[in-house]
Amino acid sequence: MQSFRSEIENPLVEKDIIELEKKIRLYREGKLQEDKFKSLRLARGVYGQRQLGVQMVRIKLPFGRMTTQQLTRIAAISDEYSTGNLHLTTRQDIQIHYVSLDRTPELWANLEKDDVTLREACGNTVRNVTASPEAGIDPEEPFDVSPYADATFRYFLRNPICQDMGRKFKMSFSSSDADTAMSYMHDLGFIPKVKEENGQTVRGFKVMIGGGLGAQPALAHTAYEFLPEDKVIPLIEGVLRIFDRHGERNNRNKARFKYLIAKLGLEEVMRLVNEEYKALKSHAFEVDKNADFRPALPAAGEIPDFVIEDTDKYNKWLKTNVFQQKQEGYYGVYIKVLTGDISSDTARALVPLVRGYAADDIRVTQGQNLLLKFVREEVLPYFFARLDELGLAEPGFNSVADITTCPGTDTCNLGISNSVTAAKVLEEVIVKEYPELLFNRDIKIKMSGCMNSCGQHGMANLGFHGSSLKSGKSVIPALQVLLGGGTVVNGEGRIAQKVLKVPSKRGPEVVRSVINDYQANKQENERFNEYYDRNGKDYFYQLLKPLADLTTLTADDFVDWGHQEQFETAIGVGECAGVMIDLVATLLYESDEKLEWAAEALQEQRYADAIYYGYASYVSTAKALLLDKDVKCNTHAGIIHDFDTHFVAEGVFNFSPDFKSEVLQINQNEPGEAFAKDYLNRALVFLQEATRYRQEQRQKPAFEAL
């Protein structure tokens, strides 16, 4: 490690990587509990795979943006540390698999040479901030949302309020009312708006709050029809503080923001958010409107000789994968990437084409594809020819034939059945049997390997998720079929309805049955979801019921896609939201560690950060003592309340008037130096008293302690 520490220019990054290396060593030596270590590595983008002894590394690309230099670096990293494959995700990240844990610090350090991070790509943190890939070139956009997505990413990276929440938190910025970043399925989603005030155009956002997919999807609520642009960061900060304090922490199935809203109600949640205003680090945050995320445009150089072998394919590609940007004379080009997997060799071969004939701005899309920008019209034929040579010119972007999928049982602990091979088979059915659907963007097929919706099946027009069915004493791989979901417009979305389960090998027949029925019986200009609504769920249940008949199973039905052996369910422990750490000694250690971080922040005059670390120390200390008494603690607010009940009311600890008032000074004061110093001193005294109290309790004879 020492050999490349000197190459890391950012001291915060260097500290992160050194800490990861140190904790790996302690873990290997048996000096660090597995659950604590797991939490730490997840927050640094290192995720346990289904296969023992190797890790998935998630590379965080804010709003899916990367340069050709960064793509080159990622490809080289995959070659050296992984398998030479890059997996594009629905959250605009890139994942590489089969990485040795011991090499992850070195891997991270090499990525940072080109300003690419792993920090907070997994775990109980703010996940990658996504945005419409077309942002900046969208003909329908009121303004470019890229600077706002970037500012949000930077503001909350390493921010103390979101380092150890109850679970993950997801945000998106759409470029227009078309809502291509799907605000309705995010904890916070933003849609750009403008209005005229006093003769000036004012920017703002429609704000959607409390959406989410997973096993129990929920549509977001409208929090604001128009929130001024300088209030976006303060709103996010307030929401995160409330989620951190009141969000569920024991039952991870209820530990998302959507459940907090369901429990308290939107009005009460927003009241609590507004109560935090005084304590916020930023009461208003001006995003630099002049920040230009457009790279240098390609020079109008000479176009080399080329030949288009398949003119029909070229014409289809033009219709489905190319669109005219808002900048006159330039075009955006989508690259359709089968199941989101692109080899490092192909990625490297793409780089010279981008550098020569497009802007140096590659965006990963939510459909696991790529978008290239600022391609001149006269270059399009040559561009197609070169992409076709690389296998990257398949038409049908975002069409029925562009199926989204997660890795499923290939690598994921939670996968129940194989989604990758199944998606390839379904895509082949569309391309070969329904070529006209290459031009249809009304029906989106999405697939996940389990119910958790990483493949976004919960908002698909036709969705599938991996499952299983019992047949006698055997278990067969199955697909849960869902219908009727999707994006509507301007923050409105639809959750797909579960219809029935079928054996996995009958997935192609499901697709054929649904498409054939729709094409045969739809009314003029009737869109698929309209057709679904008109007929109703039971109509489609009856349509597909014969495919669910288990009396007609064949030997092939007992074998999952891409496998040769008979299917067995083997679900591991998922890590996508971290784990609970409930050991008393660990919590007291963490309290002390948080106060060390608070002291650093205080010295650097980051008073809001210092105060929040102090708050986290208070809560961690209280939780440690409550757990020592076997008191269940599932929210920060509950911990604060229970500490008053079990310790202050009993006279064990003295706070005036109570512990709650002591701790929640955090939202009663502006974050200045004087309050920060006083609050941290009080938190330190509490930790010292709590540590002394626990030592005394442990020294008592067992009968006396009882």
pLDDT surpassing 50 at residue 84: yes
pLDDT tens digits, residue range 490-523?
Answer: 999 999 999 999 999 999 999 999 999 999 999 9
pLDDT of residue 289: 73
Residue 91 sits in the same domain as residue 157: no
pLDDT of residue 119: 93
pLDDT of residue 502: 97
Residue 269 sits in the same domain as residue 134: yes
Residue 38 lies in a domain: yes
Residue 253 lies in a domain: yes
Instruction: Output the CA–CA distances (angstroms, integers) from residue 132 to 116, 364, 411, in the order listed.
Output: 20, 10, 28
Closest among 488, 483, 448, 452 to 465, alpha carbons compared: 448
The tally of domains found in the chain comes to 5
Q: Once rounded to an integer, what is the mean pLDDT over residues 538-544? A: 98
pLDDT surpassing 70 at residue 144: yes
Q: Once rounded to an integer, what is the mean pLDDT over residues 377-390? A: 97
Residue 345 sits in the same domain as residue 383: yes
User: Per-residue b/e over 246-285, b at no fewer than 16 CB within 10 Å?
Assistant: bbbbeebebbbbbbbbeeeeeeebbebbeebeebbbeeeb
* Distance (Å, whole) CA 674 – CA 678: 6
- Give 52: exposed, middle or buried? Use CB within 10 Å, 0-12, 13-18, 19+: exposed
CB within 8 A of 583, min separation 6: which ones?
Answer: 33, 627
* Distance (Å, whole) CA 597 – CA 607: 12
Q: Once rounded to an integer, what is the mean pLDDT over residues 452-469? A: 93
pLDDT of residue 107: 95
Helix (H, G, I), strand (E, B) or coil at 306: coil
Token readout for 602 is: 């205080």
pLDDT of residue 581: 36
pLDDT surpassing 60 at residue 582: no
CATH number for the domain that contains residue 546 = 3.30.413.10
pLDDT of residue 364: 98
Task: Compute φ and ψ for 500, nearest 5 degrees.
Answer: -170, 170
Residue 458 sits in the same domain as residue 518: yes
* Distance (Å, whole) CA 640 – CA 694: 18
* Distance (Å, whole) CA 580 – CA 96: 26
Q: Once rounded to an integer, what is the mean pLDDT over residues 140-148? A: 96
Residue 553 sits in the same domain as residue 621: no
The percent of residues in the chain predicted with pLDDT above 70, rounded, is 95
CB 625 within 8 A of CB 604: no
Residue 413 sits in the same domain as residue 518: yes
Mean pLDDT of the chain: 92
Q: Once rounded to an integer, what is the mean pLDDT over residues 581-586? A: 63
pLDDT surpassing 60 at residue 77: yes
pLDDT surpassing 50 at residue 15: yes
Confidence of residue 578 (pLDDT cuts 50, 70, 90): very low
Residue 207 sits in the same domain as residue 264: yes
pLDDT of residue 583: 62
CB 483 within 8 A of CB 537: yes
* Distance (Å, whole) CA 322 – CA 701: 77
pLDDT of residue 570: 57
Which has the higher per-residue pLDDT, 77 or 408? 77
pTM for the complete prediction?
0.93
* Distance (Å, whole) CA 74 – CA 85: 10
Domain's final residue, options 262, 279, 296: 279
Token readout for 663 is: 């701790």
Q: Once rounded to an integer, what is the mean pLDDT over residues 568-582? A: 49
Residue 184 sits in the same domain as residue 146: yes
Report DSSP state, residue 190: E
Q: Kindly report the CA angle at 104 between 103 and 108, in degrees rounded to 5? A: 125
pLDDT of residue 393: 98
Domain's final residue, options 279, 294, 327: 279
Residue 291 lies in a domain: no
Q: Once rounded to an integer, what is the mean pLDDT over residues 271-276? A: 96
pLDDT surpassing 50 at residue 269: yes
* Distance (Å, whole) CA 447 – CA 408: 9
Report DSSP state, residue 100: -
Helix (H, G, I), strand (E, B) or coil at 226: strand
Q: Which domain range does residue 8 map to?
A: 2-112
Closest among 90, 140, 129 to 233, alpha carbons compared: 129
pLDDT surpassing 60 at residue 674: yes
* Distance (Å, whole) CA 65 – CA 36: 32
CB 399 within 8 A of CB 441: yes
CB within 8 A of 217, min separation 6: which ones?
Answer: 185, 453, 458, 459, 495
Confidence of residue 384 (pLDDT cuts 50, 70, 90): very high
Tell me how far apart the terminal alpha carbons of the chain are, to the nearest angstrom.
50
> Of the ranges 197-201, 364-368, 434-438, 699-703, which one carries the lowest mean pLDDT score?
699-703
CB within 8 A of 358, min separation 6: which ones?
Answer: 298, 333, 372, 373, 374, 375, 383
Dihedral angle over CA of 257, 261, 262, 268, nearest 10: 160
Confidence of residue 580 (pLDDT cuts 50, 70, 90): very low
pLDDT of residue 78: 97
Residue 293 lies in a domain: no
Helix (H, G, I), strand (E, B) or coil at 416: coil
- Give 677: exposed, middle or buried? Use CB within 10 Å, 0-12, 13-18, 19+: middle
Domain's final residue, options 389, 422, 457: 389
Closest among 45, 39, 54, 47 to 17, alpha carbons compared: 45
Closest among 190, 164, 37 to 104, alpha carbons compared: 37
Q: What is the CA radius of gyration of the chain?
A: 27
Instruction: Output the CA–CA distances (angstroms, integers) from residue 263 to 214, 235, 246, 254, 636, in the order listed.
Output: 18, 20, 10, 10, 15
* Distance (Å, whole) CA 145 – CA 158: 22
Residue 373 sits in the same domain as residue 453: no
Residue 91 sits in the same domain as residue 154: no
Annotate 348-406 with DSSP letters as a single string.
Answer: HHHHHHHHHHS-S-EEE-TTS-EEEEEEEGGGHHHHHHHHHHTT---S-TTSTT--EE-
Q: Once rounded to an integer, what is the mean pLDDT over residues 620-647? A: 94
Task: Compute φ and ψ for 273, nearest 5 degrees.
Answer: -60, -45
The percent of residues in the chain predicted with pLDDT above 90, rounded, is 79
pLDDT tens digits, residue range 224-245?
Answer: 999 999 999 999 999 999 999 9
Residue 296 lies in a domain: no
* Distance (Å, whole) CA 73 – CA 100: 18
pLDDT of residue 575: 54
Across 229-329, the runs of DSSP E, i.e. the strands, are 322-324
CATH number for the domain that contains residue 11 = 3.90.480.20
- Give 575: exposed, middle or buried? Use CB within 10 Å, 0-12, 13-18, 19+: buried
Strongest mean pLDDT among 189-193, 403-407, 466-470:
189-193
pLDDT of residue 579: 38
Residue 288 lies in a domain: no
Q: Kindly report the CA angle at 252 between 250 and 256, in degrees rounded to 5? A: 115
pLDDT surpassing 90 at residue 206: yes
Which residue's entry shows tokens 């009958």?
A: 506
Q: What pairs with residue 201 in β-bridges? A: 196
> Of the ranges 111-115, 285-289, 567-571, 645-649, which one carries the lowest mean pLDDT score?
567-571
CATH number for the domain that contains residue 348 = 3.30.70.3340
Name the H helices within 629-671.
Answer: 636-643, 659-663
- Give 555: exposed, middle or buried? Use CB within 10 Å, 0-12, 13-18, 19+: exposed
User: What amino acid occupies position 564?
Assistant: Q
Q: Are strands 188-197 and 171-173 parallel, antiparallel or unpaired?
A: parallel
Q: Once rounded to an integer, what is the mean pLDDT over residues 160-185? A: 96
Residue 427 lies in a domain: yes
**How many C-beta atoms surround the C-beta of residue 580 within 10 A?**
16
Residue 552 sits in the same domain as residue 415: yes
Name the H helices within 54-122.
Answer: 68-81, 104-112
pLDDT of residue 140: 97
Name the H helices within 300-360.
Answer: 311-321, 344-357
Residue 294 lies in a domain: no
Residue 381 sits in the same domain as residue 504: no
